Amino acid sequence: MQNRRQQHLSYIYAWFLVFVTPFAVPLAVITAWQGKVTKIDILCAFTMYCISGLGITLGYHRLVTHRAFQAKPWLRKILLIAGSFAMQGSPASWASLHIQHHRFADKQHDPHSPHQKGFWHAHCGWIFHGYKPDFRRFGKWLPKDPEVKHVSKYYLYYSNLGLLIPWLLCGWMGLLWAGLLRLFLTCHMTWSINSICHRFGKRAYTGTADQSTNHFLIALLTFGEGWHNNHHRHLQMPFLGHRWFEIDMGKWALLILQKCGWVWDLKIPKHFTSYEKSNSTL
Protein backbone atom coordinates (compact mmCIF):
# COMPACT_ATOMS: atom_id res chain seq x y z
CA MET A 1 0.00 0.00 0.00
CA GLN A 2 2.96 2.29 0.44
CA ASN A 3 4.95 2.08 -2.77
CA ARG A 4 7.83 4.20 -4.04
CA ARG A 5 5.48 6.56 -5.90
CA GLN A 6 3.57 7.30 -2.70
CA GLN A 7 6.84 7.92 -0.86
CA HIS A 8 7.82 10.53 -3.48
CA LEU A 9 4.35 12.02 -3.27
CA SER A 10 4.51 12.40 0.50
CA TYR A 11 7.88 14.13 0.17
CA ILE A 12 6.50 16.60 -2.41
CA TYR A 13 3.46 17.23 -0.19
CA ALA A 14 5.75 17.88 2.78
CA TRP A 15 7.61 20.60 0.88
CA PHE A 16 4.37 22.06 -0.40
CA LEU A 17 2.74 22.17 3.04
CA VAL A 18 5.73 23.51 4.96
CA PHE A 19 7.26 25.94 2.44
CA VAL A 20 4.50 26.95 -0.02
CA THR A 21 1.28 27.22 1.99
CA PRO A 22 2.71 29.88 4.41
CA PHE A 23 2.72 32.34 1.48
CA ALA A 24 -1.07 32.11 1.56
CA VAL A 25 -1.11 34.04 4.86
CA PRO A 26 0.22 37.42 3.57
CA LEU A 27 -1.63 36.94 0.27
CA ALA A 28 -4.89 36.37 2.14
CA VAL A 29 -4.31 39.50 4.24
CA ILE A 30 -3.53 41.59 1.14
CA THR A 31 -6.59 40.36 -0.78
CA ALA A 32 -8.79 41.02 2.24
CA TRP A 33 -7.29 44.53 2.57
CA GLN A 34 -8.02 45.17 -1.10
CA GLY A 35 -11.62 44.02 -0.65
CA LYS A 36 -11.29 41.20 -3.17
CA VAL A 37 -12.59 38.53 -0.80
CA THR A 38 -16.31 37.86 -0.57
CA LYS A 39 -18.31 36.36 2.30
CA ILE A 40 -18.80 33.28 0.13
CA ASP A 41 -15.00 32.81 -0.13
CA ILE A 42 -14.68 32.96 3.66
CA LEU A 43 -17.63 30.63 4.16
CA CYS A 44 -16.05 28.20 1.68
CA ALA A 45 -12.73 28.35 3.60
CA PHE A 46 -14.47 27.78 6.94
CA THR A 47 -16.48 24.85 5.53
CA MET A 48 -13.41 23.22 4.01
CA TYR A 49 -11.54 23.67 7.32
CA CYS A 50 -14.36 21.87 9.14
CA ILE A 51 -14.65 19.10 6.53
CA SER A 52 -10.91 18.31 6.46
CA GLY A 53 -10.51 18.70 10.25
CA LEU A 54 -13.46 16.41 11.02
CA GLY A 55 -12.21 13.99 8.38
CA ILE A 56 -8.85 13.77 10.19
CA THR A 57 -10.21 13.43 13.73
CA LEU A 58 -13.22 11.22 13.02
CA GLY A 59 -12.10 9.31 9.92
CA TYR A 60 -8.32 8.99 10.07
CA HIS A 61 -7.90 9.04 13.85
CA ARG A 62 -10.88 7.78 15.84
CA LEU A 63 -12.40 5.44 13.22
CA VAL A 64 -9.51 3.90 11.31
CA THR A 65 -6.55 4.16 13.70
CA HIS A 66 -8.23 3.41 17.03
CA ARG A 67 -11.39 1.66 15.76
CA ALA A 68 -13.31 3.58 18.41
CA PHE A 69 -16.67 3.07 16.68
CA GLN A 70 -18.31 1.36 13.72
CA ALA A 71 -19.77 3.25 10.77
CA LYS A 72 -21.64 2.51 7.55
CA PRO A 73 -19.23 1.81 4.66
CA TRP A 74 -20.35 4.89 2.70
CA LEU A 75 -19.76 7.09 5.74
CA ARG A 76 -16.34 5.52 6.34
CA LYS A 77 -15.40 6.39 2.78
CA ILE A 78 -16.70 9.96 3.05
CA LEU A 79 -14.80 10.56 6.32
CA LEU A 80 -11.57 9.24 4.84
CA ILE A 81 -11.93 11.27 1.65
CA ALA A 82 -12.62 14.36 3.81
CA GLY A 83 -9.46 13.59 5.83
CA SER A 84 -7.41 13.27 2.65
CA PHE A 85 -8.27 16.94 1.87
CA ALA A 86 -5.77 17.81 4.64
CA MET A 87 -2.93 16.27 2.55
CA GLN A 88 -1.40 14.59 5.61
CA GLY A 89 -0.82 11.25 3.91
CA SER A 90 -2.99 8.32 2.92
CA PRO A 91 -5.25 6.95 5.67
CA ALA A 92 -3.20 3.73 5.78
CA SER A 93 0.19 5.37 6.36
CA TRP A 94 -1.22 8.11 8.64
CA ALA A 95 -2.88 5.50 10.87
CA SER A 96 0.11 3.16 10.97
CA LEU A 97 2.57 5.92 11.91
CA HIS A 98 0.14 7.17 14.54
CA ILE A 99 -0.07 3.69 16.08
CA GLN A 100 3.74 3.69 16.17
CA HIS A 101 3.55 7.04 18.01
CA HIS A 102 1.31 5.52 20.67
CA ARG A 103 3.44 2.38 20.97
CA PHE A 104 6.60 4.39 21.68
CA ALA A 105 5.10 7.69 22.91
CA ASP A 106 7.98 10.05 23.76
CA LYS A 107 10.48 7.19 23.59
CA GLN A 108 13.20 6.49 21.06
CA HIS A 109 11.11 5.10 18.19
CA ASP A 110 8.31 7.67 18.40
CA PRO A 111 8.34 9.31 14.92
CA HIS A 112 7.44 12.73 16.34
CA SER A 113 8.24 13.37 19.97
CA PRO A 114 9.48 16.82 21.04
CA HIS A 115 11.35 15.04 23.83
CA GLN A 116 13.49 13.06 21.40
CA LYS A 117 14.49 15.29 18.49
CA GLY A 118 13.14 18.68 19.48
CA PHE A 119 10.04 20.78 19.01
CA TRP A 120 10.30 21.48 15.26
CA HIS A 121 11.05 17.89 14.39
CA ALA A 122 7.89 16.89 16.30
CA HIS A 123 5.88 19.68 14.66
CA CYS A 124 6.69 19.26 10.97
CA GLY A 125 10.34 18.23 10.55
CA TRP A 126 9.50 14.56 10.88
CA ILE A 127 7.44 14.50 7.69
CA PHE A 128 10.65 14.97 5.66
CA HIS A 129 12.26 11.90 7.21
CA GLY A 130 10.35 9.43 5.05
CA TYR A 131 9.13 7.23 7.90
CA LYS A 132 7.68 4.11 6.33
CA PRO A 133 4.56 2.58 7.83
CA ASP A 134 5.15 -0.94 9.13
CA PHE A 135 1.75 -2.56 8.76
CA ARG A 136 2.86 -5.89 10.21
CA ARG A 137 3.68 -4.25 13.53
CA PHE A 138 1.43 -1.19 13.51
CA GLY A 139 -2.07 -1.68 12.14
CA LYS A 140 -2.28 -5.19 10.66
CA TRP A 141 -5.92 -4.54 9.81
CA LEU A 142 -5.21 -1.48 7.69
CA PRO A 143 -4.24 -3.18 4.39
CA LYS A 144 -7.36 -5.39 4.67
CA ASP A 145 -9.85 -2.57 5.27
CA PRO A 146 -11.73 -1.95 1.98
CA GLU A 147 -12.34 1.77 2.51
CA VAL A 148 -8.80 2.42 3.77
CA LYS A 149 -7.47 0.49 0.78
CA HIS A 150 -9.60 2.43 -1.69
CA VAL A 151 -8.88 5.95 -0.38
CA SER A 152 -5.18 5.14 0.06
CA LYS A 153 -4.97 3.83 -3.51
CA TYR A 154 -6.54 6.99 -4.96
CA TYR A 155 -5.06 9.34 -2.38
CA LEU A 156 -3.37 11.52 -5.04
CA TYR A 157 -6.74 12.31 -6.63
CA TYR A 158 -8.79 12.63 -3.45
CA SER A 159 -6.27 14.86 -1.71
CA ASN A 160 -6.17 17.26 -4.65
CA LEU A 161 -9.96 17.50 -4.62
CA GLY A 162 -9.42 19.62 -1.51
CA LEU A 163 -7.87 22.26 -3.79
CA LEU A 164 -9.98 21.65 -6.88
CA ILE A 165 -13.38 22.00 -5.17
CA PRO A 166 -12.72 25.53 -3.77
CA TRP A 167 -11.27 26.59 -7.12
CA LEU A 168 -14.35 25.33 -8.99
CA LEU A 169 -16.73 26.93 -6.47
CA CYS A 170 -15.05 30.29 -5.86
CA GLY A 171 -12.29 30.68 -8.45
CA TRP A 172 -8.78 31.92 -7.53
CA MET A 173 -9.91 33.49 -4.24
CA GLY A 174 -11.42 30.13 -3.30
CA LEU A 175 -8.14 28.39 -4.11
CA LEU A 176 -6.21 30.90 -1.99
CA TRP A 177 -8.52 31.00 1.03
CA ALA A 178 -10.26 27.59 1.12
CA GLY A 179 -7.35 25.79 -0.53
CA LEU A 180 -3.94 27.09 0.50
CA LEU A 181 -4.73 29.13 3.63
CA ARG A 182 -7.06 26.42 4.92
CA LEU A 183 -4.36 23.78 4.32
CA PHE A 184 -1.81 25.90 6.19
CA LEU A 185 -4.14 26.22 9.20
CA THR A 186 -5.37 22.60 9.18
CA CYS A 187 -1.86 21.14 9.00
CA HIS A 188 -0.34 23.39 11.67
CA MET A 189 -3.23 22.58 13.96
CA THR A 190 -2.77 18.82 13.51
CA TRP A 191 1.01 19.15 13.84
CA SER A 192 0.49 21.10 17.09
CA ILE A 193 -0.93 17.93 18.65
CA ASN A 194 2.48 16.29 18.19
CA SER A 195 4.53 19.30 19.29
CA ILE A 196 2.50 21.52 21.67
CA CYS A 197 0.35 18.72 23.13
CA HIS A 198 3.44 16.78 24.18
CA ARG A 199 5.16 19.76 25.76
CA PHE A 200 2.79 22.55 26.84
CA GLY A 201 -0.56 22.35 28.57
CA LYS A 202 -2.05 20.42 31.47
CA ARG A 203 -1.86 16.75 32.31
CA ALA A 204 -5.20 15.62 33.74
CA TYR A 205 -3.95 12.03 33.79
CA THR A 206 -0.55 12.40 35.37
CA GLY A 207 0.11 8.68 35.35
CA THR A 208 0.41 8.17 31.58
CA ALA A 209 3.86 6.92 30.58
CA ASP A 210 4.42 9.83 28.20
CA GLN A 211 4.44 13.63 28.27
CA SER A 212 1.08 14.18 26.55
CA THR A 213 -0.96 17.23 27.59
CA ASN A 214 -4.40 18.77 27.22
CA HIS A 215 -4.60 22.18 25.56
CA PHE A 216 -7.93 24.02 25.45
CA LEU A 217 -7.21 26.28 22.46
CA ILE A 218 -5.76 23.49 20.33
CA ALA A 219 -8.75 21.30 21.25
CA LEU A 220 -11.13 24.03 20.16
CA LEU A 221 -9.41 24.39 16.78
CA THR A 222 -8.94 20.66 16.13
CA PHE A 223 -12.45 19.41 16.92
CA GLY A 224 -11.32 17.86 20.20
CA GLU A 225 -7.89 16.49 19.31
CA GLY A 226 -6.19 18.87 21.74
CA TRP A 227 -7.42 16.77 24.69
CA HIS A 228 -4.41 14.68 23.90
CA ASN A 229 -3.54 13.58 27.44
CA ASN A 230 -7.10 12.26 27.79
CA HIS A 231 -6.62 10.42 24.52
CA HIS A 232 -3.32 8.84 25.59
CA ARG A 233 -5.07 7.59 28.72
CA HIS A 234 -8.03 6.02 26.88
CA LEU A 235 -6.84 5.19 23.36
CA GLN A 236 -10.04 3.60 22.12
CA MET A 237 -12.43 6.06 23.74
CA PRO A 238 -14.30 7.80 20.88
CA PHE A 239 -14.73 11.01 22.94
CA LEU A 240 -11.58 13.02 23.59
CA GLY A 241 -13.14 15.59 25.92
CA HIS A 242 -13.74 13.75 29.20
CA ARG A 243 -15.11 16.49 31.42
CA TRP A 244 -18.22 18.56 30.72
CA PHE A 245 -16.22 21.71 29.98
CA GLU A 246 -13.77 19.98 27.62
CA ILE A 247 -15.23 21.03 24.28
CA ASP A 248 -14.98 18.18 21.78
CA MET A 249 -16.79 18.99 18.55
CA GLY A 250 -15.85 15.56 17.19
CA LYS A 251 -17.90 14.06 20.03
CA TRP A 252 -20.90 16.19 19.13
CA ALA A 253 -20.62 15.14 15.48
CA LEU A 254 -20.41 11.46 16.53
CA LEU A 255 -23.49 11.76 18.74
CA ILE A 256 -25.45 13.26 15.82
CA LEU A 257 -24.24 10.50 13.48
CA GLN A 258 -25.19 7.92 16.11
CA LYS A 259 -28.70 9.41 16.36
CA CYS A 260 -29.02 9.05 12.58
CA GLY A 261 -28.07 5.37 12.94
CA TRP A 262 -24.96 5.75 10.78
CA VAL A 263 -22.42 5.02 13.54
CA TRP A 264 -22.70 2.53 16.40
CA ASP A 265 -20.71 0.44 18.86
CA LEU A 266 -18.94 3.42 20.41
CA LYS A 267 -16.16 1.91 22.54
CA ILE A 268 -16.77 3.85 25.74
CA PRO A 269 -14.96 2.02 28.58
CA LYS A 270 -17.44 0.31 30.91
CA HIS A 271 -16.05 1.86 34.06
CA PHE A 272 -15.92 5.31 32.50
CA THR A 273 -18.31 7.81 34.03
CA SER A 274 -17.75 11.42 33.15
CA TYR A 275 -14.19 11.86 34.33
CA GLU A 276 -11.63 9.88 36.21
CA LYS A 277 -9.61 11.64 38.85
CA SER A 278 -6.20 12.86 37.69
CA ASN A 279 -4.21 10.40 39.70
CA SER A 280 -6.43 7.42 39.21
CA THR A 281 -4.65 4.10 38.92
CA LEU A 282 -3.56 3.61 35.34
Q: What does the binding site for Zn ion look like in residue numbers (CB under 5 A)? A: 212
Q: SS3 letters for 236-262?
A: CCCCCCCCCCCCCHHHHHHHHHHHCCC
CB 250 within 8 A of CB 60: no
Minimum gap (Å) between residue 229 Cβ and Zn ion: 9
β-strands 263-264, 70-71 pairing: antiparallel
Nearer to Zn ion, 62 or 182 (CB): 62
Nearer to Zn ion, 89 or 166 (CB): 89
Nearer to Zn ion, 177 or 239 (CB): 239
Minimum gap (Å) between residue 232 Cβ and Zn ion: 6
Minimum gap (Å) between residue 66 Cβ and Zn ion: 6
Nearer to Zn ion, 31 or 52 (CB): 52
What is the three-class DSSP state of 230? helix
126-to-15, 90, 101, 189, 264 alpha-carbon distances in Å: 12, 16, 12, 15, 35
The residues, any chain, with a CB within 8 Å of residue 256's CB and separated by 6 or more, are none
Minimum gap (Å) between residue 44 Cβ and Zn ion: 30
- In whole angstroms, what is the distance from residue 196 CA to residue 213 CA? 8
Minimum gap (Å) between residue 167 Cβ and Zn ion: 32
CB-nearest residue to Zn ion: 212
Nearer to Zn ion, 76 or 231 (CB): 231
